[in-house]
Structure formats: structure tokens, C-alpha cells
Amino acid sequence: MSKQWFKDAVVYQIYPQSFQDSNQDGIGDLKGIQQRLTYLEKLGVDVVWLNPIYTSPNQDNGYDIADYRTIQTRYGSMQDFDDLLADMHNHQLKLMMDLVVNHTSDQHHWFQESKQSRNNPYADYYIWRDPVDGHEPNNWGSFFGGSAWTYVPARGQYYLHLFASGQPDLNWENPKVRQEVYDLMRFWLDKGVNGFRMDVINLISKPAGLPDAPKAPGATYANIEQFVGNGPKVNAYLQEMNREVLSHYDIMTVGECVAVTPEVAVHYANLEGTELNMVFQFEHVGLSANPNPAIGKWNDEPIKLTDLKAVLDRWQTKLDGKAWNSLYWNNHDQPRAVSRFGNDNPAFRERSAKMLATVLHMMQGTPYIFEGEEIGMTNVHFKQLAEYEDLESINAYHELVEDEGLVEPETMLSYLADRSRDNARTPMQWTNQAYAGFSTVQPWFNLNPNYATINVDQALAQADSVFYYYQQLIQLRHQEALIRYGNFTDLLPDDQAIYAYQRQYGNESLLVYANFTDHSVALASQLIKASADHTYLIGNTDSYTHAELAPYEVRVYKK
């Protein structure tokens, strides 16, 4: 069972440019991370997932890699990396790297060669197509706006980029490309890294023939999010990668999978371990997208609890015994959990952050905590476009407001405030001092002004802080096989206010009752009865015998 440790682990995600600056240039770096390892140890997490730190022109904050085997200078040197890895292992922390191999940067030397001609050694490393009637080969829109194709006169052809034009898609049909990827994976694994988070890995095999995708009325290009995922050869490629690389190391893998359903995920994350250990699915964070498909994810409507429960319940029950779940509320691409699913009003922030943490950490799967989540960091609530940094947000504003006129400026700013990826990317709030202890100079990206009250120092000084609550949840997971492996039943799937579920393992039982609203809600008699022979385990108030749940209250009972 030595290869099963991923099921017992809790992962902490570090967005390196926003975690800790050690050399006072305003950008987080590897030495900064090293300085904070005792903090992570105190929290009790087992694994760190580090977003990309490789050489990159940073068109997409490192998800455009120009050299897979060097460290981006602003983060430090390879020596700094080796030191960090060794020190993490000293602190009993494992390190999971970000593997971005659906695409490279257009600055990668493979692409620099590939674009020169149709007959150089790298000519088929990317996806090139002739123009059709003088324009793009199909109607695909990129995830970041505009066409997914860019024309290169030297070849008289277009190349495919599902993301920015600076992120050309690799041609996985070419066996040489696959071997290059396996080689670079071995490079990091041989250094002793403990796993990979694989960026958009279910996009590596494209739909056969690259046909047009359905296009929404009013849109210039087709939204391909539901169209390009899970292509015909993706399982074969992952099995090959597993045979050639993954199975030779004792590591953990999680594949970020766009448009993935439990039916498909049971293959990717199968318990026989022939592909990956788990996937990141998008169904819960994709709820309350805009009703107009041409506007895509941009909206500012709250999520309906019954919809949220339906999604999470489906993943809990359909993977049980067949595959393994990942559990997350947020990451570097998502708004902050407490702002989106809880309530970041000071009256409810801490209580709702603890409630959300409990609901997630008591489920079956491997929990992921995004930096700052453990102190209840909130969305930044920017008011102007000029405050944004993320190309997805900025491009979406220009396209939807200015080019297509589909959204009013004020409305779009409200959508961005609610959903922009930049909400996750403001620097970590360590102290209430200048620049929040992240740096001593103006950081690369604005801090959330609420660092004056929401910061690590404060959390460590407050006995009942969100931080110490996460610490307890992590300890409980480590102690209780019931929490790690028990099966899952939703006790009230149709309730609009309460999420109540049961976990069972052998003759042990766990009950979780959570109020997702800002008002008190009576507990159904069925729930009171169910808990009668259980004992109280953890919760965010001391009202655990009351017949109603206070606003955002959560209680866990065990038998």
C-alpha cells in the first residue's frame, strides 16, 4: 500500500509570486517559501503544490514555459530549488510540481524552430494547419478570447493555441513530443520531487479532424470549453505516460481536467492506478455561469445550495470504490472560497470560512488548501479595470464590453469583482505591517487592504481562529480512517439552507450538518434523531445541542 499515501494527504497550494518575497524585489520567491516551512508544518499539511516556477515570459504568470529545466530568475536559482526541496523533506513535506505540457511558451526553442519552416526537426512539434478559404482552419475561440489560431507567414500556416497566442499547443500525436515530455518529467522526478499537478491534461488529445464547435448567437468565435476536452487518445496517452514514467516513482498525481464528469473521471483516476491518482473537476466552481453562453463564466449571481450539493454529492458517490476525488473550494484561478461560497462580511467571515472548511474536509478525497484560505482571506473587490493584472480578466472586459457590446461596463466590473482570477493572486497576508510582511517594497500586485485585520500574525494569536480550526480538521483527517475512506450519503439533498451528510466506515458513522445561510435554521427532526447516539466531534460554535443551526454554523458528530 505504499503508493496510497496520496489518499491520506492534505495539500497546500503555493502561488509562488504571491507567497513570500525574500530579496525585496516585490515578487515572491523560493527562499521566501523556505522561510515559511515552519508555518506549513504548524498547519499540519503533508504536501505542497507549487504553481509553475520555470523560465517563462509570464504572459500567463508562468503557464507559458520557455524552458522546462531552468528556474525563472525572479524565483531564484536551481541551487535555491534544490535547497528548498531538501528542506521541505526535512520538514516532512512533499513537493508536487506543476506540469504544463498541453502547451509551451512561444519563446520555447521548440516553437522558435517549429515556426521557421514546414521541414525542420521541430516542424511537427505543434499543431499547424493550412488556411481554409483564406482564414482560420476552424471557428474555435481561445480560452482567453479571440481566435484559437494565429497565422505565421514564414510557414503560410496557422498554429493552434487553446489559450493565449503565446501558448502554442504541443502536438501529442508526435511520439517525439511525448518522449520529450517524459524526459523532462524524469528530470524533476530524479531530483526527488514527489508528484505533479498536470495543467489542463485532458486537452492534450484534440477532437479528430478539428471540426467547428457549436457557436452561441452573438459570439465571434465558438466557446470550446465543453468541446475540446477528453479527446479520443487522452486515456492512451496517460497510460503510456504512466507506464513510461509515473509507475517508476512513488509519487502523487492530479490532473486538471476541463469539462470532466464523474463518468470520465473514473478512468483518469481509477484505483488500479493506470493513469492518474485524481483529477481537479470544475463542475462546482462552474455553477452560476452566465445564462448567456456567449458571456461564459462571467456573472455575479450566487450559487444555489441545491445545485452545489447535487454536484458534490455526485462526485462523492460515483467515484466511491472506483476512483479517488480531489476536494477544493478555490485555487489560483478562482475567487476566494469565503467570498464565493460563504460570506466575507466581517460578521460572518470566520464562521462561514470554518463551515466551508468542515464541509470539504469531512468528505472523501484529498483536500487542497489555497494559500490564505486557512486564515479566511477574501476577494479583493477591485473597482476599476486598471487594477487587474490577469490576461483572462482584461481580455474578457475588452471583448465583451468594447468589441461585442454584450455587457455594460459597470456590470462587467461587478462580474470581475466576483469571479476574476486576480482575487486569488493578491499577496499573502502575514502581518498588519507595511506590505503585510510579504515584502518591504511595493509588491508586484496590490495587496488586499484588509490585511490590517486579516493576517497570519492575528490568526496565530487568536485561539479560535480559522487557522487553528484548519489545523484541527487536518489532525482529524490524519487520525480517522472514517474521514478518509468512509462512504457518503446526502441526508437532505433538497434543502435550500442546510448541507447534511453522513459518512460510514465499518460500523463507524460521521454526521456533518452545515447551515449555508446568514439566518438560523431549525434542524429537521430526522437530523436530531440521527445524531442522538453520536458524540460531538468538532464545529464552529458551542451550540451543539440546540435544535437549530445558527447562521453558518457547522457541527460534526461521530459514532
CB of 183 to ligand ISL, least distance (A): 21
CA distance 467 to 12: 13
Residue 117, Cβ neighbours under 10 Å: how many?
11
From ligand ISL, Ca ion, none, interface partner of 284 (C-beta below 5 to 8 A by class) = none
Residues 434-473 interacting with ligand ISL (rule: CB under 6 A):
none
Residue the block writes with cell 439566518: 519
| By CB under 6 A, residue 484 contacts ligand ISL | no
Site string for ligand ISL, 274-313 (x = CB under 6 A): -----------------------x----------------
| By CB under 6 A, residue 200 contacts ligand ISL | yes
**What's the Cα-to-Cα distance from 149 to each of 110, 132, 133, rounded to whole Å?**
18, 12, 14
CB of 80 to Ca ion, least distance (A): 11
Cell of 165: 497566442
Number of residues that bind Ca ion (CB under 5 A): 5
Given a contact cutoff of 8 angstroms between Cβ atoms, the answer to whether 254 and 198 are in contact is yes
CB of 32 to ligand ISL, least distance (A): 20
CB of 368 to ligand ISL, least distance (A): 12
From Ca ion, ligand ISL, none, interface partner of 110 (C-beta below 5 to 8 A by class) = none
Residue 548, Cβ neighbours under 10 Å: how many?
12
Cell of 452: 490590517
Residue the block writes with cell 460572518: 348
From ligand ISL, Ca ion, none, interface partner of 297 (C-beta below 5 to 8 A by class) = ligand ISL
Smaller CB separation from Ca ion, 27 or 84? 27
DSSP result, 115-147: TT-SSSTTTTSB-EE--BTTB-SS-BBPTTSSB
CB of 58 to Ca ion, least distance (A): 14
DSSP result, 179-240: HHHHHHHHHHHHHT--EEEETTGGGSSPPTT-------TT-SSB--TTTSSS-TTHHHHHHH
Smaller CB separation from ligand ISL, 5 or 370? 370
Given a contact cutoff of 8 angstroms between Cβ atoms, the answer to whether 470 and 369 are in contact is yes
| By CB under 6 A, residue 181 contacts ligand ISL | no
From Ca ion, ligand ISL, none, interface partner of 140 (C-beta below 5 to 8 A by class) = none
From ligand ISL, Ca ion, none, interface partner of 21 (C-beta below 5 to 8 A by class) = Ca ion
| By CB under 6 A, residue 60 contacts ligand ISL | yes
Given a contact cutoff of 8 angstroms between Cβ atoms, the answer to whether 269 and 319 are in contact is yes
Among 7, 178, 421, 503, binds ligand ISL (CB under 6 A): 421
CB of 435 to Ca ion, least distance (A): 12
From Ca ion, ligand ISL, none, interface partner of 63 (C-beta below 5 to 8 A by class) = ligand ISL
From ligand ISL, Ca ion, none, interface partner of 60 (C-beta below 5 to 8 A by class) = ligand ISL
Among 46, 106, 169, 333, binds ligand ISL (CB under 6 A): 333
Given a contact cutoff of 8 angstroms between Cβ atoms, the answer to whether 237 and 181 are in contact is no
- What does DSSP say about strands 487-490 and 498-505: parallel, antiparallel, or unpaired? antiparallel
Among 199, 344, 371, 418, binds ligand ISL (CB under 6 A): 199
From ligand ISL, Ca ion, none, interface partner of 96 (C-beta below 5 to 8 A by class) = none
Among 100, 377, 416, 510, binds ligand ISL (CB under 6 A): 100
- CA–chain centroid gap for 264, Å, is 19
From ligand ISL, Ca ion, none, interface partner of 374 (C-beta below 5 to 8 A by class) = none
- CA–chain centroid gap for 364, Å, is 18
Closest CA to 486 of 456, 510, 469, 457: 510
**What's the Cα-to-Cα distance from 249 to each of 29, 188, 189, 190, 275, rounded to whole Å?**
27, 11, 8, 9, 13
Number of residues that bind ligand ISL (CB under 6 A): 14
Among 54, 163, 324, 388, binds ligand ISL (CB under 6 A): 163
| By CB under 6 A, residue 395 contacts ligand ISL | no
| By CB under 6 A, residue 143 contacts ligand ISL | yes
Q: Where are the alpha helices (DSSP H) in 362-486?
A: 391-397, 409-419, 456-461, 466-479, 481-485
Site string for Ca ion, 5-44 (x = CB under 5 A): ----------------x-x-x-x-x---------------
Smaller CB separation from ligand ISL, 297 or 546? 297
Beta strands (DSSP E) in 408-530 are 487-490, 498-505, 508-515, 521-522
Q: Which residues are catalytic?
A: 199, 256
Q: Which residue is nearest to Ca ion (CB)?
A: 29
Residue 244 main-chain phi, psi, to 5 deg: -80, -35
Binding positions for ligand ISL, rule: CB under 6 A: 60, 63, 100, 143, 163, 199-200, 256, 258, 297, 332-333, 392, 421
Binding positions for Ca ion, rule: CB under 5 A: 21, 23, 25, 27, 29
